[in-house]
Structure 1
Amino acid sequence: MKLKLFDIFQQYKKHKILASNFVYLSVLQGLNLILPLITLPYLIRVLGVEYFGLLSFSFAFITYFQIITDYGFNATGTRDVSMVIDNVQKQNEIFNQIMSAKLLLVVLSFILMTGIVFAFEIFRTYWMVYLFSFGSILGQAIFPVWYFQGIQKMKYITYLNLVTKIIFTIALFIFIKQKSDYYLVPVFNALGFISAGIFSLFYLRKDFNIRFQVQSFKKIKEQLNKGKYVFLSELKISLFTNTNTLILGIIAGNHAVGFFSAAEKLARAIGNLQTPISNTLFPYLSKEMSLDKYSTIQKIKKITMYGAFIFSVIIVICFCFAEQIIKIIYGAEMVSAVILFKILILIPLLSFLDSMYGKQILLNLGKDNLYFRVILYATILNLGINLLLTYYYKELGTAITLIITQVLIALGMWYFAKREIDMIAQKGGKNEFN
């Protein structure tokens, strides 16, 4: 009887933590959805499509260095910490190794970025924008989101992001009044990320007794080797998301980038509704998968079915009212983005399926190499299609290319996930699967 009551208590405690984390991340994602809907229309109206396109172009460029400094640690770090959630000493080791690796990557990335910016005229003309934008890379590098996700303490992520994002969003409205103020956008973004990062390190030291110490190159190398497949996969994803924008900017200019980015950012904002689900489930399912693969996969399949239905309904609604949505949010002058939005609105569903089959199943099964293979093949195909379609159809071609690639990735993740699930089912589905 006592044992049964203990099991019930443990189940209650586990699901309470999961629900709490979901609520916190939902609040954060709601903020990430609402703030762009407030700031993007304002920036487009004040700065114009041309400067908005410039900022989007610079963001696409700088994102490469964010991928380098993240190095897939948001997945591998979360997974590793969640496996030693009751061992503070092990957590300290993982934290120090990953943070040391990230800081090394920040330094190397800054050197590389500076060299590229001053070597090519397309970047050199607005060099300040790129240098200011790099501040956000530093801020994100020192903010250990992966650690908080691993220990399932999402409230810290939410509180820090909530305060800093609101403050610096208000600053955008106060200080950006004319087109010449465009450079202030990356300045405020950088200040927001750096502030959140500094405060997060303070909380880690105060509440969790996590203290940073620079690690040896040998330890750093071990972490880099461990995360290489996820990093390369993330880099390949960046190649078809951000390279598409860069190619469009080079071929068609900032004006075309402005229309494309307005539609894409709106579609991705809607797609990011699944992020709280994904980020909350990942550490939880990682631990559950190590205990019972079969039952964990059954849970994932149910979540996938319900999520796919919800996103399908959202897509139909957004497609039918695309023109009204664009005009209300961006204004009548952005009507050229309507057709792009109708195409790109498929992103939420495809991203959700990609996350469930790829991140939640393949990565939690330790099949990082399969995850990488899907992204690699899709990226190679994307680059070829993108150059052709963007050259002839400008931003419309870029939008079509992006959706084709997302479809291929979702199908690839589904294929390999299904193969792994079938293998698990054949073996019996319990703890014997290693």
Structure 2
Amino acid sequence: MAGKNVLVKNIASLGIVQIANFVFPLISVPIISRILGPEKFGIINFVGAFVVYFNMFIGYGFNLTATRRITQFTDTVERRQLIFSEVFYCKIILFFISLIIFTNFVLFLPALESERLLSVYAFIFCISSVLTQEWLFQAMQDLPRIALLNLLGKTIYIISVLLLIRERSDYYWQPLMLSASQVIISLISFVWAKKKYKIKLIFIPINRCFKLLWDDKTVFFSLAFTSIYTTVNVVVLGVLQSKESVGFYTAGQRLISVAQLVITLPLAQVFYPYISKAFAVNKELGIQTVQKLLPIVIISTVLLAIVMFVVGENVLMIFYGNDFAQSVIVFKILTFIPMFVAINNVMGVQTILNLNLDKIYFKVIAINAFVSVITNILMVHQWGFIGCAINWLFTEMLICLILYFSIKKEGISVINMKYFMLSHFRGYYNELAKKRF
């Protein structure tokens, strides 16, 4: 019963995060984009796309692998302390590697060299990746703390940005305030986690850190390739086309990403540790839990896609104004992205990774990332920022198909039609309401 209560409590806490994910962009994005215009908006998103790779590198997929190590085995203070220290020291190593590489990019890559100050401000964000303990709160299914920190960070960011950005030349404040707010919140989470879970940092030999990085390489590279096909579009577009084109593309992409975050965040932070524990009990229970989740994901995201497609043009014009009229077509092309991303998450992260079939997941993502880069270059050359949007949708659809047949090949079916029946939907929500999921 306690586990069921925790799930419902976490879902309720995540509701706070989801409200913040909706409301704060509604306030900040229209104001910032209208002040900066397509070109400056494109510049900060272009630089941000580079920093995403380093942020992902430092995170190294520990949100999945470290969470899995805690949830699938007996959790003790000693084990928790060991994993906490391993993750922290690994992140420090990865941060300094990132710092060296990024410094060379800023010094010698013309696209970043022309925006050195902006690039430095954006890179400061990576410090938060070292300090954040979101993965630990997630593993302990303590999402109220994540919700509170998330809300506090967004509040600090939005207030500072709205106070400081007054004209187009103020564009550098956006990455600086984003980085500063996240560093503050991650530092709070670090101290909070140590006190809450009685954790002390213990010395981890560097060879042990490298062994952990080697052991987790499959999940990391899977996430790295995912990052390639989701963010390389912006980099390729910025290199082959104008920064204004980047602005048009990222304006439409940004709104889609908000919807995508609202869908994928519950899957990552609530259901992943919960489903992971179900798989730890036995394989059959884990698969059944996934089968119950998938219909809800599919139906809710299809309805969301239809609504976004219908109201997309009006929403985008309200957000960005007439200067971003060319972003409408990008938004409409991408409306089904959250659906495919959510389904891919259920099949890939929730199912394949929890079955410890990491290599299968890696192969699927790696192949599609390679294909995506090639097709993206061709489509951007032919159709510009519209080609970017088409390529992302094509990639997610392809991943969805390959993941499904890869799981099927292992003798596992993630689709059970009886859970698509209305009676099962009612039963599912009634169980949640009674805290007996």
TM-score range, shorter chain: over 0.9
Instruction: For residues 138-187 of structure 1, give each alpha carbon's deviation from its aligned partner in whole angstroms, at most 9, with x where no partner exists.
Output: 11221021111111111111112211220221111111101111111111
- Counterpart CA distance in 1 for 2:56 and 2:213 is 13
1:143 paired with 2:137, answer: no
What's the offset of the Cα at 1:424? 11
Q: 1:39 aligns with which of 28, 47, 50?
A: 28
Letter in 1 for 2:404: W
**Partner deviation per Cα, 1:359-406 (whole Å, 9 max, x = no partner):** 000000001111100111101111111111101110001110111111
In the other structure, the counterpart of 2:338 is: 348
* Residues 72 and 230 in structure 1, CA contact (< 8 A), matched pair in contact too: yes
Q: Which residue of 2 aligns with 1:365?
A: 355
Identity %: 28
Aligned counterparts of 2:406 and 2:23: Cα–Cα separation in 1: 35
1:222 lines up with 2:207 in the alignment: no
Instruction: Give the stretch that moved more between structures: 198-207 or 386-395.
Output: 198-207
2:298 aligns with 308
Normalising by structure 1, what TM-score? 0.92
Shift, 1:254, TM fit: 0.8
- Residue by residue over 1:296-332, the C-alpha shift from the partner in whole angstroms, topping out at 9 and shown as x without a partner, is 2122112111211111011111112221111122222
Question: In structure 2, what is the Cα distance between the partners aligned to 1:17 and 1:423?
Answer: 28
The answer on 1:417 being equivalent to 2:407 is: yes
Amino acid at match of 2:380: T
Q: CA deviation at 1:126?
A: 0.4
What corresponds to 1:322 in structure 2? 312
Alpha-carbon separation, structure 2, partners of 1:284 and 1:119? 46
Counterpart secondary structure, 2:201: coil
Aligned to 2:53: 64
> How far off its partner does 1:339 sit?
0.8
List, as ranges, runs of 4+ consecutive aligned residues in structure 1 with deviation greater than 4 Å. none
Aligned residue for 1:88? Answer: 77
CA contact (8 A) 2:81 2:202 kept: no
| CA spacing shift, 1:322–1:304, aligned 2, 3 Å | same
The 1:124/1:276 distance shift into structure 2, 3 A limit, reads closer
Contact 2:133 2:193 (C-alpha < 8 Å) held by counterparts:
no
Distance 2:208 2:392 in 1: 38
Indicate conservation of the 8 Å contact 2:58/2:95, yes or no: yes
Partner of 1:189: 178
Q: What is residue 392 of structure 2 aligned with on the other side?
A: 402
Residue-pair matches, total: 414
Cα distance in 1, alignment partners of residues 143 and 412 from structure 2:
34
Are residue 164 (structure 1) and residue 159 (structure 2) matched?
Answer: no
What corresponds to 1:250 in structure 2? Answer: 239
1:231 pairs with one of 198, 211, 220: 220
- Measured in 2, the distance between the counterparts of 1:301 and 1:350 equals 16
- In the alignment, the residues of structure 2 paired with residue 29 and residue 370 of structure 1 have an alpha-carbon distance, to the nearest angstrom, of 31
Q: Distance in 1 between matches of 2:265 and 2:51?
A: 25
Partner residue in 1 for 2:429 = none
Residue 423 and residue 33 in structure 1: after superposition, are their counterparts in 2 closer, same or farther (change >3 A)? closer
Matches of 1:247 and 1:398, distance apart in 2: 9
Amino acid at match of 1:90: R
Shift of 1:252: 1.0
The whole-number CA distance in structure 2 between the counterparts of 1:213 and 1:186 is 34
Q: Is the 8 A contact 1:294 1:424 kept in 2?
A: no
Are the aligned partners of 1:22 and 1:276 in contact in 2 as well (CA < 8 Å)? no
Cα distance in 1 between the residues matched to 2:159 and 2:374: 42
> In structure 2, how many angstroms separate the alpha carbons of the residues matched to 1:410 and 1:191?
37
DSSP 3-state at the match of 1:321:
helix
CA distance in 2, matches of 1:348, 1:339: 16
Distance in 1 between the 2:233 and 2:405 partners?
26
Task: After TM superposition, give the deviation of residue 421 of structure 1 in Å.
Answer: 4.5
**Does the 8 A contact of 2:17 with 2:151 survive in 1?**
yes
> Is the 8 Å Cα contact of residues 84 and 91 (structure 1) preserved in structure 2?
no
Q: Distance in 2 between matches of 1:273 and 1:84?
A: 29
Query: Gapped runs of 5+ residues in structure 1?
Result: 1-11, 426-434
Q: Which deviates more, 202-211 or 373-382?
A: 202-211
TM-score (norm 2): 0.92
Could you tell me which amino acid in structure 2 is paired with residue 400 of structure 1?
Answer: I
Aligned match of 2:106:
117
